[in-house]
Amino acid sequence: MQRSHQPQNADNVAVLFQRALKEDPSYALAQAGFFAGHHAESVGMFKEATELAPQSYMCWGNLADAYRWTPGEKDRAKATYPRAIGLAERPLEVNPRDTDALAYHALYQAKSGGAREGTSVKSARHWPLRRRM
């Protein structure tokens, strides 16, 4: 028997979205809409996420991604990625080995059209490599 990924009660979707947005805006249901191809619709939800978590590089990166995939919004994406890049630099000032911040910093730079001098990828070559067991 196949299971549907549709919620049993569509009215609960809005309630669940609001709860997810408050708990973790960068991974709220806006991403589900985005990955389902509803890029233009997800822009509004990601904007709300940036209002709730204005210091979150992931929220700003998600908004830039939504703009990037929405027809006619590439200029807004290019204007939004620098905010995500700048915010991703903050945790690197505290911990230059923050792998999440490093990865997203490099990703947003690539998506925005290229890397700047002094990127986190460049600085990554100075890390001591350690094997995990």
* Per-domain boundaries in the chain: 14-114
* Measured distance CA(123)–CA(114) in Å, rounded: 16
| Residue range 14-114, CATH number | 1.25.40.10
Q: How many helices (H) and strands (E) does the chain have?
A: 7, 0
* Measured distance CA(25)–CA(9) in Å, rounded: 22
Residue 105: the pLDDT is: 95
Residue 12: the pLDDT is: 61
**Position 89 pLDDT exceeds 90:** yes
**Residues 27-34: what's their mean pLDDT?**
72
Residue 118: the pLDDT is: 43
Instruction: Report which of residues 12 and 126 the model is more confident about.
Output: 12
Sort residue 44 into left (φ over 0), alpha (ψ -120 to 50) or beta: alpha
Q: Convert the pLDDT of each residue in 52-72 to its tens digit.
A: 889 999 999 999 999 999 999
Q: Is the pTM of this model over 0.85?
A: no
Among residues 89, 90, 47, the alpha carbon closest in space to that of 65 is found at 47
